[in-house]
Amino acid sequence: MSAPLPRKRWYRVLYIQVLIAVALGIVVGHNWQAIGKAAVRSGIFGAGFAWPDVESAMKPLSDGFIKLVKMMIAPIIFCTVVHGIASMGDLKKLGRVGLKSLFYFEVASTVALIIGLVVVNVMQPGAGFHHTASAHEIELAQKFATKAHALSTKDFLLNIIPDTFLGAFTSGDLLQVLFISLLTAFALTAMGGRARPVLNAIEYASQLFFGVMRIVVRLAPIGAFGAMAFTIGSYGLGALTNLLKLMAGFYLTAGCFIVFVLGGIARSCGVSIFRLLAYLKDELLLVLGTSSSETALPGLMEKMQRLGCSRSTVGLVVPTGYSFNLDGTNIYMAMGAIFLAQATNTPLDLKHQIGLLLIAMITSKGASGVTGAGLITLAATLSAVPSIPIESLALLVGIDRFMSECRSLTNFIGNGVATIVISRWEKEVTPETLRENLRNPPPLIPHFAEESKPGTGH
């Protein structure tokens, strides 16, 4: 038996580094002006030095890290999906997994929307607000409405098709990457044995891209520090208490959804939701620090494979789920829309709220894990419900950064659970294997060491 691997020192563990970075970001952001005045008085920067504002100094750290991660997402998804499906050699299984995934996504998303509607009607966080929009708020809301216009069903479907094959890798749209990945996988499957050299090349390219991603993720503490310092420095600690009732209700609802709904689904698969959260702690803290679930997408795909889910299922479920399985975004949209109706004294009876739910089921599709997508999809929903003044959307702008963290975390966890569910439905992994791998996570195994499958040329 091989000797156990030595434990990492605490300060070298990624999630501890991210936690420390987040705490430092809060301190630095809250004391940004005081630090600047002290630095200028000390004279260490020389005469005439102007202390920069927190946005220009801190936000590039967060933006730069997110761009580094997004740079690698498209090639990783392409390689994983193409190799997984082409190695599957069973297009019937592909169709079966796809239909099961879409069915699960729709059920989970609808449950999330209903729970959000019930909670916001019970709590009534916007009652008594009596909000009247200012000229600035009207202008701000109009910007989101303009962006939301691109979310119409026709444009959404046409946007899945990239302008060029390589254009899918530069657009930042995961559905475009998934689309060309499926086409490529089908073409390789039709080629039979002649596809082996191409599959081998894709396999080694996948190892390369995951290796680059592991290097990039080491910079996560810098990105988390910059994001938190910018947020607190821009909005102040007071933003944490602004509209506190809505924020508290949303966080409580998302937490209950994770523990009871997703937890119940995970339990039906033989998995404890708390063990799963502990298994994904590095990625969860990465999402928390950056307010974007996309930064942890490659890590989620890798860990789901290590858990025992097949590569083909992971490659199909996770990227698709990032556009169609957004539980946190759905809860937010339901609660946000009804809150704004309450705050503007807009009456919505049960019939109107059911109509709102149906509209939200459509507009929520295609929202990515990028920060701010929640506001845009909410604007699209409000545009389709003219009874709620869209200019009231400006009420949520100040706290959206804090809401975005909870949205992203819930979306991320939901996609992890979805992958396990589909793998169990496909009988790819047993509850015993899942529990064992959660208790004792297996070491990272290079993809080329996986069991050979017909048609892969391994």
With 70 as the cut, is the pLDDT of residue 8 above it? no
Domain count, the chain: 1
- Pick from 107, 108, 113: which is nearest to 378 by CA? 113
Instruction: Give the separation between CA 114 and CA 360, rounded to whole angstroms.
Output: 11
Establish if 349 belongs to a structural domain: yes
Terminal CA-CA length for the chain: 27
The listed range with the strongest mean pLDDT (153-162, 218-227, 424-433, 437-446) is: 424-433
CATH number where 88 lies: 1.10.3860.10
Q: Is residue 451 part of a domain?
A: no
- Asked if 388 contacts 337 with a C-beta cutoff of 8 angstroms, the reply is yes
**Cβ–Cβ < 8 Å for 410, 257:** yes
Tell me the pTM. Answer: 0.69
The span from the CA of 155 to the CA of 362, in Å, is 13
Lowest mean pLDDT among 145-149, 206-210, 310-314, 315-319: 145-149
Q: Which pLDDT does position 91 carry in this prediction?
A: 66
Among all chains, which residue has been given the structure tokens 């260490």?
Answer: 44
- Alpha-carbon distance of 247 to 278, in angstroms, equals 25
Q: Report the candidate in 413, 368, 417, 406 with the shortest Cα–Cα distance to residue 288.
A: 406
Residue 456 in domain:
no
Residues 325-352 pLDDT 10s: 889 888 988 888 888 888 777 777 787 7
Domain of 422 in residue numbering reads as: 13-443
449 in a domain, yes or no?
no
On whether the CB atoms of residues 223 and 62 are closer than 8 A, the answer is yes
Q: 275 lies in a domain?
A: yes
Domain contains 244:
yes
The model's pLDDT over 222-238, given as tens digits with 9 standing for 90+, comes to 888 887 788 778 766 65
Contact call for residues 291 and 404 (beta carbons, < 8 A):
yes
In a domain, 190, yes or no: yes
Q: What percent of the chain has pLDDT over 70?
A: 77
Closest C-alpha to 361, from 124, 153, 179, 160 = 153
Letter for the amino acid at 291? S
The verdict on residue 124 lying in a domain is: yes
CA-based nearest residue to 380, from 369, 395, 366:
366
Contact 276, 266 (CB under 8 A): yes
